[in-house]
Structure 1
Amino acid sequence: MSSLARRGMGLLCAAALAGCALGPDFAKPDSGLHDVVPASRPDYAAAAPVSGAAVPDSWWLLFKDPLLAELQQRAQADNPDLQMAAERIEQSRAQLNIAHAQLLPSVGAGAGYTRERLSEHGKFAALGAPAGPSDFWQLGFDASWEIDLLGRARREREGAAALLKATVYEREAVQLSLSAEVARAYLQLRGTQAQLDIALQNKAVAERTLALAENRVRNGVATRFETASARAQLATVKALVPELTQRRNTLLNALALLLGAKPHALDAQLRGALPLPSLPDSVPVGLSSELARRRPDILRAEAQLHAATAAIGVARADFYPRVGLRGRLGVEAFDSGDLASWDSRFFSVGPTVYLPIFDGGRLTQRLALTESRQKTAAIAYRQTVLRALHEVDNALDAWAAQQDQHAELTLSYEQNRQALHAAERGYQEGAADYLSVLTAQRNVLASQTSLNASATSATLTLVNLYKALGGGALQTGVAR
Structure 2
Amino acid sequence: MRRLALLLSVASLAACSVGPDFVKPTPALPSQWQADKAQAAPVDRQWWQLLGDPQLTALIERAAKANLDIRTASNRLDQSRNSRQISAAAQLPGVSGTGSYQRARNSGVGLNDPSFEDGKAPYELWNSTVDASWEVDLWGHVRRSLEAADAEIALTQAERDGVVLSITAQMADDYVRLRGVQARLDVARQNLEIARQNQTLTQTRFENGVTTNLDTANAAAAVETIQATLPMLEAEQARLINAMSFLLGAEPGALHAQLQTPKAIPHPAPDVPLGLPLELAQRRPDIQRAEAALHRATAAIGVAKADFYPRISLGASVGFQALDGSDLGGWNSRDWSYGPSLYLPIFQGGRLTGTLALREHQQQAAAIDYQRTVLAAWHEVDDARTDYAAEQQHYAALNRAVEQNQLALSTARQRYKEGAIDFINVLNVQRALLETQSALVGSATQAALDRVQLYRALGGGWPQALR
1:70 aligns with 58
Cα deviation 1:333-371 (Å, max 9, x = unaligned): 111111132000000100011111122211111111111
Contact 1:79 / 1:258 at 8 angstroms: preserved in 2?
yes
| Equivalent position SS for 1:28 | coil
Q: Give structure 2 stretches of 5+ with no counterpart.
A: 1-7
Alignment of 1:182-221 (within 5 A): 182-221=171-210
Distance 1:475 1:161, change over 3 A: farther
Which residue of 97, 104, 114 maps to 2:85? 97
Give 1:48-447 correspondences, 5 Å limit. 52-122=40-110, 124=112, 130-131=118-119, 132-447=121-436
Answer whether contact 1:276 1:456 (CA < 8 A) is retained. Answer: yes
Contact 1:16 1:150 in 2 (8 A): no
Is 1:30 aligned to residue 64 of structure 2? no
What's the Cα RMSD here? 2.1
Alpha-carbon spacing, 1:38–1:178, altered in 2? closer, same or farther (3 Å)? farther
| Contact kept in structure 2, 1:172 and 1:474, CA below 8 Å | no
Equivalent residues, number: 458
CA distances 1:54-98 after superposition (whole Å, capped 9, x unpaired): 111011111111111111111111111111111111111111111
The 1:361/1:14 distance shift into structure 2, 3 A limit, reads farther
Post-superposition offset of 1:282: 2.2
Unaligned runs of 5+ in 1: 1-11, 42-49
Relative to structure 1, the CA distance from residue 381 to residue 475 in structure 2 (aligned partners, 3 Å threshold; closer, same or farther) is farther
Work out whether residues 109 and 118 of structure 2, in 8 Å CA contact, stay in contact via their aligned partners in 1: no
What percent identity do the matched residue pairs reach? Answer: 47
Moved more, 421-430 or 281-290: 281-290
Using the alignment, how far apart are the partners of 1:421 and 1:34 within structure 2? 52
Segments of 4+ moved more than 4 angstroms: 12-17, 474-478
The answer to whether the 8 Å contact 1:173/1:473 transfers is: no
Contact kept, 8 Å, 1:39 with 1:52, in 2: the verdict is no
Distance in 2, matches of 1:335 and 1:325, equals: 32
Q: CA deviation at 1:476?
A: 11
The alpha carbon displacement at 1:422 in A equals 0.6
Give yes or no for contact 2:274–2:280 (8 Å, CA) kept in 1: no
Distance of 1:243 and 1:69 partners within structure 2:
28
Q: Look up the SS of the partner of 1:340 in the other structure.
A: coil
Task: Flag the 1:155–1:66 CA change in 2: closer, same or farther, 3 A.
Answer: same
**CA offsets 1:140-182 (integer angstroms, 9 cap, x no match):** 1111100101110001111101111111111111111111111
| Aligned twin of 1:47 | none
Contact 1:81/1:174, CA 8 A, preserved across alignment? yes
Structure 1 residue 284, shift from structure 2 partner:
2.3
* C-alpha separation in 2, matches of 1:149 and 1:240: 75
Letter of the 1:352 partner, please give it: S
Task: Determine if contact 1:109/1:140 at 8 Å carries over to the other structure.
Answer: yes
> Structure 2: which amino acid aligns with 1:20?
C
- Measured at CA, do residues 438 and 123 of structure 1 come closer, stay the same or move farther in structure 2, by a change above 3 Å? closer
Match of 1:45 in 2: none
Superposition TM-score, scaled by structure 2 size? 0.94
